[in-house]
Amino acid sequence: MDVLEISMMIHDANKSLRSLFKDDYDEKAEPIREVIRRFMKQENVSTLVALTKILQRLQARFGEDSRETEVNTLWFCAAAVDVINEQAKS
């Protein structure tokens, strides 16, 4: 999988969850965005590096094929797009 495909998948996660949770997406995603921001600050890494490391930890904790991992991966990918967009605005 190349970088363009991965970026499109992450962007699609954001669009899908925003569509599914029209009224409360931001409320649900904010705690996840905060985890990403804290991780970025602690590790002094970019959003995508933080996302990668967080997803690796999820897999290590719950297993690669776990439903928990799948759901959390979707939310972390969607929230990472929000953090990237925040950074682009500032």
pLDDT band at 5 (very low <50, low <70, confident <90, very high): confident
Q: Could you tell me which residue, 49 or 2, shows the higher pLDDT?
A: 49
The pTM of the full predicted model, rounded to 2 decimals, is 0.91
Q: Rounded to an integer, what distance in angstroms lies between the CA atom of residue 17 and that of residue 88?
A: 21
Tokens of 4: 């363009």
- pLDDT tens column, 9-64: 999 999 999 999 999 999 999 999 999 999 999 999 999 999 999 999 999 998 88
Tally of structural domains, the chain? 1
Q: Could you tell me which residue, 50 or 90, shows the higher pLDDT?
A: 50
Q: Taking 80 as the threshold, does the pLDDT of residue 2 lie above it? A: no
End-to-end CA distance of the chain: 30
